[in-house]
Structure 1
């Protein structure tokens, strides 16, 4: 059920990695290397992916290349939201992907692409159609973010939250399905682009939307799903019971499992964006989850990277 392990999420975004503690990403690079190696030791057939970068920054990839990270992963991933957060137009998507491809022989995945309905639901519909025109056939994995709107009461994982103005509130409108469970206009259009388009859907700890999500994914013809298991959540009571339930629900899909979020008590700073005190502890978490949910080896996903 697990095709790939993604090492962290958006490491070049300060909402996900503390660049004040690690300004040149040396600690991130060391952590990513030991984690990717641990995943391969646990199951050599799992595709290891460098955490999807946002913004799409060739200089960050060069940095990772210089620090040896690209020698330890099978693929690179990028995230793009030109109609919401990025400072470039949607028609530049092919150029942005090609800029990263030019730096390495590694495949480049698009593990998050999406359009919010913050301004208007019609914008998302148009943006999805245009994204499909621009990106189909350009990456081994294209995963739309996301299936569900983020509930208003939950809060988005960003650094400055409401101080970001409209940039913050767009996080709550990225889904193809509204918070009340009703479809948006783009949902029907999305079904025309599966299975080539997959879904990126984050599930919160003991997320009540899990079963509903699986029903929708099957109905839409989705094959590839990107989600995450939080290292921080692993210290909660009954964490394994929740992880087991989440993974069992997704067993019919090709899952990219993202590992991220530092437990407060295991970070240099008490925050989920902090580099860990002991990088090998994060690596051990990754390996344990792969062994639990992917076993020692499979061959069904050869060629994905």
Structure 2
């Protein structure tokens, strides 16, 4: 069921990796080299994906290439939200892919693409159809972000806060389904684009939405799913049981499994975006999860 593993999420986005601590991404590159080898030692056939980048920046991929990190992964990935956060227009998707393909021969996946309903559901409806038109056939994997709106009681994983205005609030409107379970306009069209379009859906620790999400994914004809296992959550009581329950529920899908989030007590700074004090500990987490859920 595990078709690939991803090493971190959006490492060039300060909401997910503190590059003030690691300004040239030397720690991140070293961590990818070590973790990539750790995964390969457990399953040599399992594709390893560099953490999907946001913004789409060929200079970052060039940096990873020059530091030798790309030699330890099989795929690079990009995330794009041109109708919400990016400073480019939706019709530029082919150009953005070409920019990355110009600096690496690795396959490029789109592991997050989405449109919020912050302004209107019709915007997401248009964005879904146009994104599918522009991306289908150009890359091997496309993961729409996301199935569910983020519950308003949960914080968004971002450096933006209420003072940033709509940049923050848009995080809560990215789903095809509202927090109360009501479908949005775009949901009725999503099945037209599966299985070419997959879904990216993050599940929080002991997430109450897991069972209903599986039901919706099956109904929509989704084959490819991207989600994550949190290194930080692995230190919670009951973490192993939750990981097992989550992965059992997702049997039947081809899963890209993202390993990320630094435990506060293991970071250079006490925050989940911090580079770890010891990159070997992240590599061991990657090896352990691969051994458990995607053994060679």
Normalising by structure 2, we get a TM-score of: 0.99
1:102 deviates by: 1.3
Structure 1 residue ranges (4+ consecutive) displaced by more than 2 angstroms after TM superposition: none
1:283 paired to 2:283? yes
CA distance in 2, matches of 1:98, 1:189: 28
Separation in 1, partners of 2:194, 2:277: 41
Mapping of residues 1-305 of structure 1, within 5 Å: 1-295=1-295, 297=296
Measured after TM superposition, the shift of residue 63 of structure 1 is: 0.5
Deviations 1:118-175 (A, max 9, x none): 0000000001111111111011100000000000000100113222210000000000
In the other structure, the counterpart of 1:300 is: none
Distance across 2 between alignment mates of 1:292 and 1:249: 15
- Could you say what secondary structure the match of 1:78 adopts? strand
Q: Using the alignment, how far apart are the partners of 1:192 and 1:40 within structure 2?
A: 36
Structure 2: how far apart are the matches of 1:93 and 1:237?
A: 43
Task: Measure, in 2, the Cα distance between the counterparts of 1:294 and 1:58.
Answer: 31
Could you tell me the TM-score, scaled by structure 1's length?
0.96
Structure 2: give runs of 5+ residues left out of the alignment: none
Coordinate RMSD, CA, aligned: 0.6
In 2, Cα distance between equivalents of 1:249 and 1:109: 25
SS, match of residue 185 in structure 1: coil
Structure 2: how far apart are the matches of 1:58 and 1:277?
A: 28
Q: Deviations over 1:240-286 (max 9, x none)?
A: 00000000000110000000000000011101011101101000001
d(CA) in 2 for partners of 1:105, 1:234? 34
Aligned partners of 1:172 and 1:89: how far apart in 2? 22
Question: How far is the alpha carbon of 1:231 from its aligned partner?
Answer: 0.2
Q: Name the SS of the counterpart of 1:91 in structure 2.
A: helix
CA distance in 1, matches of 2:161, 2:189: 31
Superposed CA deviations along residues 84-123 of structure 1, whole A, max 9, x for unmatched, are 0000000000000111011111000000000000000000
**Structure 1: which 5+ runs fail to align?**
298-305
Q: Secondary structure at the match of 2:112?
A: strand
